[in-house]
Amino acid sequence: MITIRDRINLWPRIEQLLDCIQKPSRYIDHEFGAVKKDEASFRCVLIYPDTYEVGLPNQGLAILYNILNQQEDIACERAYVPWIDMGDLMRERNVPLCSMESYFPVASFDMVGIQIPHELAATNILETLDLAGIPLFARDRAQEDAIVCGGGPSVYNPEPFAPFYDAIMIGDGEEVICEVAGCIKELREQGAPRAKILEALAAIDGVYVPLLYDEHTDALGRIYVTPKEGSPAKACITKRLIPHFADTDPLTSCLVPYVEVVHDRLSIEVLRGCARGCRFCQAGMTYRPVRERPSDQIVASVICGLQRTGYDEVSLTSLSSTDHSTLEKTLRRLNALLSGSATSVSLPSERLDSFGLEMAELVAGEKKSGLTFAPEAGTQRMRDVINKGITEDDLMNTVRAAFGAGWLRMKLYFMMGLPTETDEDVLGIADLCGRALELAKSCVPGPKKSAVKISTSVAVFIPKAQTPFQWCAQTEREEVLRRQKLLASAMPKGVTLHYHDHKASFLEAVLSRSGRELAPVIAEAHAKGARFDAWTECFDLNRWHEAAQACNVDIEARATVPFNTEDPLPWSHISCGVSTRFLKREWQKAQEGILTPDCTMHGCTGCGVCPTLKGQNVLEGVRRG
C-alpha cells in the first residue's frame, strides 16, 4: 500500500485532474530554470502559502531554493497552495499535496519549509499542512513526520502560528537554512528521536522551537512564553544577519513560468534594510541595518539574468531603492547597456525626497506608465508623528519633476487611523491630493491635461510587533468607517480614491497583536472553510468571529486594547536587534512629534542593531549625504 510518506511520482494522478480545473498550468513541472537532484539523499521542499503565480516570484524562497540546491547531497524542491477548485478535487480524489519538481508527496520530504509572508496567510499555512496530510499542530507529529520549519517577513511575532511549526528561523535565511537542513540531515541519518532533533535545532542561533517553551496567560487571556526549565531554548532569539550582503548571489534561481505571475519580471535585490525610521514600518525595523550591493555587481547580475530568462523588464528591489548610494550611476550604466533592447528598468519603491527630474528620466527609459509614492499622511504634523521625514514640498517637487518629464499618472499611498490622528489629518489627505492634481495639470501641455490621473489608496493602520507603535491599539472599525466617509466627502473631483478593506485590516491587526491563544482560532476558522483570506473574493470575517466564539477568545480586544509599555508582550522572546529601549524612546518622540534622522546620513541613532549583532558596524562604507 502506498502512503503519503512514500517517495513516489504523483504526476499520473495530478494529470487526471487538470481537465477539471481552472489554470492547469499552475501545476505543470519543467519550468525553465527548475533544479532536479534525483540522486540526493536528503530532500526538502519550500512552500509559499498561496497560489503558484503569487508564490513563484517571491525572492525569499528563490534565494533559499538556490542556496539549498548548491549543497552537496541536498535536494530542494517547491510547492504552492492549490487554488480552491484543485484543492477540493485533490481531497475528493485523495491526492496529497506534492512538489513541483518530482511530484513526490510533501509529507515524504525530510524537511518542509512553509514561509510566513504575512498574517493573512494563516489559514493557508494550515491548508498546506492539511492537503499534505501532516498533522496541523507540532505536538501531534510522530517520529516519521517531516520537520516543519518556518521563516519569512512575519516571524517577528510568530506566536499565532508557532504551534503549527517545529522550528522557525528568525532573520536572514542565507546561512541559517543550511545549518538547519544539515542538522536535520545528520540526526535523521543517526536515527535520533524527534525530540532530540528539536533540541539540536534550538541550539542554532536564530532558531525558535516553540515546543520548548512554557505558556503563561495575562489578565486579558494573551499568552506569552518562557523557556522550559532544562531545555536548550533561549530566553530571547535574536535574528540572524548577513553582514556582507555583496557576498551573496544577487541572481536567485531564474525560474521562468508557463503562466503569467505577479511581478512577472527579473528582480535583483540591490539593497537590504532601511534606516529611514518610519515608526509604523515593521520591515524598516526588522531588516536593519542597511547593506548595499556595489554597482558593478548589480549591473553584471542584471545583464546575466536577462540573458538567462528572456525577460524585458528588470526591477531593482529593496525597501527603498532610491536610497542606494550609487543608484543614479547604476541606472545610467544599465540604460546605456540596454539601449535599443526595449528592456525597461523599474523601481518598486521610490522616495519623495530622493526623486527628481534626472531620476524620473532614468527610471522611465522608453516607457512612462506611472509612478507610485507614499506620503503616508496628509499633514506635516502627522508625518512627523510617524517619522516619515518628508515634507509637502518634497511631494510637490516630485509632482513637478514627474509630470514635467512626461508622466501622466501617479498613485499616492496613505494610511488612516495612525496614532494621534484627528479629523484635520484625515481631511489633509484630500487637500494634499487636490493640490498635487492642480500642480500636475499645470505641468502638462494643454491637449494632455485631461489625461492626467492621480489615484489615492488609503490603508488602515495596523500596529506591528517590533515597531515603536507595537503598544498601540488599532482604531475601532466603526470609527474607521466614519473617517473613510469623511475623506470621501472631501476628496476633490478628479482624484480616484481606493480604500483597503477595514474587515481584512481588522483581522490582520488581530493576528499581528495576539499570542498563541489565537492558534486554536486559526485552526477552527480553517475547519469552517477559511482559506485564501488575502483574496477579497474568499475573505469572510464571519468565519473568524464564529471560530473565536467557539474558542472563547475575544478577538475584538486583541485588535483594540493597547499594551502597557512595561508588560510582557507575546513576542518579547523574539528580537530583530532593535532594543526595546529605542522603541520606547521612539514611541515617546512620536507623541511629541519629534523626528529621528536616518543613521546612514546623520550618524548613529542608538537603535541597538549594530552592537547587538556581534558588535559589527555593518554600515561602514554605506554612509550617504
Q: What are the pLDDT digits (tens) for 101-160?
A: 999 999 999 999 999 999 999 999 999 999 999 999 999 999 999 999 999 999 999 999
- Comparison of pLDDT for 264 and 278, the residue scoring more: 278
Closest-CA residue to 59 (of 300, 315, 306, 246): 315
CA atoms within a 13 Å half-sphere pointing along the CA-CB vector of 295 = 11
SS3 of 209-231: the string is CHHHEEEEECCCCCEEEEECCCC
pLDDT value of residue 368? 66
Residue 225: what are its φ and ψ, rounded to 5°?
-130, 155
pLDDT at 377 over 90: yes
What's the average model confidence in pLDDT over 546-560? 97
Residue 454 CB neighbours (<10 A): 23
Measuring CA to CA, how many Å separate 1 from each of 14, 95, 405?
19, 14, 68
Query: 262: which DSSP letter?
Result: T
The x, y and z cell numbers of residue 546, run together, are 464564529
Name residues whose C-beta falls within 8 Å of residue 44's C-beta, 6 or more positions apart in sequence: 68, 74, 75, 76, 77, 109, 110, 111, 112, 113, 181
- Name which of 352-356, 430-434, 532-536 the model is least confident about: 352-356
Contact indicator for 168, 208 with CB cutoff of 8 Å: yes
Per-residue pLDDT for 362 more than 50? yes
Pull the grid cell for residue 500.
483597503
pTM of the complete model: 0.95
Query: Looking at residue 356, what is its pLDDT?
Result: 62
Question: What is the predicted pLDDT for the residue at 344?
Answer: 87
DSSP 77-90: EEEEPPPHHHHHHH
Give 314's strand partners. 266, 345
Give CA separation, 554 vs 384, 549, 551, in Å: 34, 7, 9
- DSSP label at residue 170: -
Selection from 445, 346, 359 nearest residue 397 by Cα: 359
Render pLDDT for 406-421 as a digit per residue (tens, 0 to 9). 889 999 999 999 999 9
pLDDT of residue 193: 97
Between CA 32 and CA 363 the distance in angstroms is 29
* pLDDT for 108: 97
Q: What pLDDT score was predicted for residue 1? A: 44
Phi/psi of residue 192, each to 5°?
Answer: -65, 145
Question: Largest alpha-carbon pair distance within the chain?
Answer: 77
pLDDT class of 369 with cuts at 50, 70, 90: low
- Cβ atoms of 386 and 420 within 8 Å: the answer is no
User: Model confidence at 613, in pLDDT bands (50, 70, 90)?
Assistant: low
Domains of the chain (ranges; CATH) run 35-238 (3.40.50.280), 265-349+595-625 (3.30.750.210)
Cβ atoms of 537 and 586 within 8 Å: the answer is: no
pLDDT at residue 268, as a whole number: 94
Read off the pLDDT of residues 77-110 as tens digits, 9 standing for 90 and up: 999 999 999 999 999 999 999 999 999 999 999 9
Lowest mean pLDDT among 12-26, 137-151, 213-227, 250-264: 250-264
Residue 474 in contact with residue 119, Cβ under 8 Å?
no
Q: What is the average pLDDT across 291-318?
A: 94
Q: For residue range 315-351, list pLDDT tens digits in order.
A: 999 998 888 999 999 999 999 999 888 888 888 767 7
286, burial (CB in 10 Å: exposed 0-12, middle 13-18, buried 19+): buried
The grid coordinates of residue 498 equal: 481606493
Distance of CA 67 to the CA centre of its chain: 20
Assigned C-alpha cell, 11:
504526476
Report, as an integer, the average pLDDT of 193-211.
98
Q: Across residues 191-216, what is the average pLDDT?
A: 98
Per-residue confidence at 292, pLDDT binned at 50, 70, 90?
Answer: very high
| Cell numbers at 425, concatenated | 489629518
Instruction: Enter the DSSP assignment of 569.
Output: P
Q: Are 207 and 201 in contact (CB under 8 A)?
A: yes
Question: Count H helices, E strands: the chain?
Answer: 22, 19
pLDDT of residue 404: 87
3-state secondary structure of 560: helix
C-alpha 420, offset from chain centre: 27
| pLDDT for res 617 | 44
DSSP letter (8 states) at residue 194: H
> What's the pLDDT at 401?
85
Cα–Cα distance measured from residue 128 to residue 468, given in angstroms and rounded to the nearest whole number: 33
- Rounded to an integer, what distance in angstroms lies between the CA atom of residue 394 and that of residue 398? 6
Question: What is the distance in angstroms between the CA of the first residue and the CA of the last residue of the chain?
Answer: 67
Alpha helix positions (H), 135-213: 173-189, 194-202
What is the average pLDDT score of the chain? 92
pLDDT of the residue at 620: 45
Asked if 51 contacts 255 with a C-beta cutoff of 8 angstroms, the reply is no
Q: Mapping DSSP to helix (H, G, I), strand (E, B) and coil, where does residue 219 land?
A: coil
The CA-based angle 253-69-61, given to 5 degrees, is: 50
pLDDT tens for 592-608 read 999 999 998 888 999 99
Bond preceding residue 24 cis, omega within 30 of 0: no
Query: Among 260, 271, 202, which residue's Cα sits nearest to residue 231?
Result: 202
Torsion of CA 600, 602, 607, 609, to 10 degrees: 30
CA distance linking residue 191 with residue 143, whole number of Å: 10
Distance between CA atoms of 251 and 214, rounded to whole angstroms? 41
Predicted local confidence at residue 414, as pLDDT: 97
The alpha carbon torsion through 6, 12, 15, 17 (nearest 10 deg) reads -70
Return d(Cα 154, Cα 286) in angstroms, integer.
Answer: 10
Residue 447 pLDDT grade (very low, low, confident, very high; cuts 50, 70, 90): confident
Distance CA 34, CA 255 (A): 6
CA proximity to 313, closest of 285, 353, 274, 348: 348
Please give the average per-residue pLDDT across 356-384, as a whole number: 80
Pairing, β 495-499 against β 291-292 = unpaired
The C-alpha cell of 76 is what? Answer: 530542494
Integer angstrom CA distances of residue 449 from 353, 403, 495: 25, 10, 14
